[in-house]
């Protein structure tokens, strides 16, 4: 039976915690991922339980501590937490790259990056890869000064821009498409980043190879049956592909150092 855990400390020893990066609120994530974890539990015979964190920095600390048996993490997270505690990629979205975006309100007069000068911008967290790291790096390279504000989730970014609290905000195409229509319809995309290898599903070294194989097979099989296809639609993913560590070399080439302190 599916159970939702905001924290992971109370999970029993014979279950597997599957941590989801908190790009949306915990309630939104639970609603979308709960049926998927029930599906994976049924297919694998494992007791797979949902977990997340109150915000992305807390999620990063839990990854560093190895608190999740399996985790869905952003591309930069994977390059960091593969080093320590040793998460190993098992799957990723197939034939898809992650692209960051900067959104503004539909009625905004902002037309390009230069127009962001001295504007207040919302981001999910400092190390949110495509929603914060890449846009902020590009803005800095253009010599544009902004006032960054971190609001915990992609969902909060979109809502904050739609309500006029911020001139612009960083997100990714997948979460933008998943935003409630009443929020999304108030926004437009000002700028889009280049594409990179998308989020990783990765397993902690303590998870047995037999269990990893079962989870891989279940994830890849989702696009082969009607139930799995419908579940994938709820998270705006068409299908999963097998992943290997080298898939994220494009992200490593950026030489990002933001989270190095967490693995020292």
pLDDT per position as a tens digit, 119-141 = 999 999 999 999 999 999 999 99
169 in the same domain as 143: yes
Distances (CA, A) of 93 to 16, 48, 90, 120, 203: 21, 20, 11, 32, 16
- Asked if residues 243 and 90 have their Cβ atoms less than 8 Å apart, the reply is yes
Contact between 155 and 123 under an 8 Å Cβ cutoff? The reply is: no
69 and 14 together in one domain: yes
- Looking at every residue in the chain, the average pLDDT score rounds to 95
Judged on CB neighbours under 10 Å (0-12, 13-18, 19+), 50 is: buried
Q: CATH number of the domain that 175 lies in?
A: 3.40.190.10
* One domain, residues 81 and 167: no
**Band of pLDDT at residue 13, cut at 50, 70 and 90:** low
Q: Which of 141, 166, 196 is the last residue of a domain?
A: 196
Segments in 114-208 forming alpha helices (H): 134-141, 154-162, 173-178, 181-184
Which domain-ending residue is among 196, 212, 241? 196
Number of folded domains in the chain? 2
Q: Are residues 25 and 83 in the same domain?
A: yes
Q: Which residue range(s) make up the domain with 87?
A: 4-96+197-263
Is 116:144 a contact under the CB 8 Å cutoff?
yes
Q: What is the mean pLDDT of residues 58-85?
A: 98
Distance CA 22, CA 25 (A): 6
Report how far apart, in Å, the C-alpha atoms of 9 and of each of 17, 52, 204, 259 are: 10, 12, 16, 23
User: Do 102 and 192 reside in the same domain of the chain?
Assistant: yes
In angstroms, the CA 110 to CA 61 distance is 36
Q: Give the pLDDT confidence score for residue 7 in this predicted structure.
A: 46
pTM listed for this prediction? 0.91
pLDDT band, residue 88 (cuts 50/70/90): very high
Percent of the chain whose pLDDT exceeds 70? 95
State how far the Cα of 37 lies from the Cα of 46, in Å rounded to an integer: 10
Same domain, 119 and 175: yes
């Amino acid at each position: 039976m599916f159970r939702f855990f905001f924290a992971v400390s109370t999970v029993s020893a014979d279950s597997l915690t599957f941590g989801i990066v908190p790009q949306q609120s915990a309630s939104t994530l639970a609603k979308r991922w709960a049926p998927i974890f029930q599906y994976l539990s049924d297919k694998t015979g494992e007791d797979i339980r949902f977990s997340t964190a109150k915000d992305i920095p807390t999620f990063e600390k839990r990854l560093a501590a190895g608190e999740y048996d399996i985790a869905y993490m952003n591309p930069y997270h994977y390059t960091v937490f593969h080093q320590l505690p040793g998460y190993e990629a098992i799957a990723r979205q197939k034939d898809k790259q992650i692209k960051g975006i900067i959104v503004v309100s539909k009625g905004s007069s902002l037309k390009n990056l230069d127009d962001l000068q001295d504007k207040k911008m919302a981001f999910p967290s400092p190390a949110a890869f495509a929603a914060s790291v890449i846009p902020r790096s590009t803005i800095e390279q253009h010599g544009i000064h902004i006032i960054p504000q971190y609001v915990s989730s992609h969902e909060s970014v979109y809502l904050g821009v739609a309500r006029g609290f911020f001139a612009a905000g960083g997100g990714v195409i997948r979460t933008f498409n998943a935003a409630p229509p009443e929020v999304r319809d108030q926004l437009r995309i000002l700028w889009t980043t280049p594409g990179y290898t998308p989020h990783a599903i990765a397993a902690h070294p303590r998870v047995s190879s037999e269990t990893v194989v079962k989870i891989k097979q279940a994830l890849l099989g989702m696009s082969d049956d009607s139930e799995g296809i419908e579940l994938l639609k709820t998270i705006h993913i068409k299908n999963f592909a097998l992943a290997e560590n080298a898939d994220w070399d494009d992200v490593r080439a950026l030489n990002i150092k933001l989270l190095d302190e967490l693995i020292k």
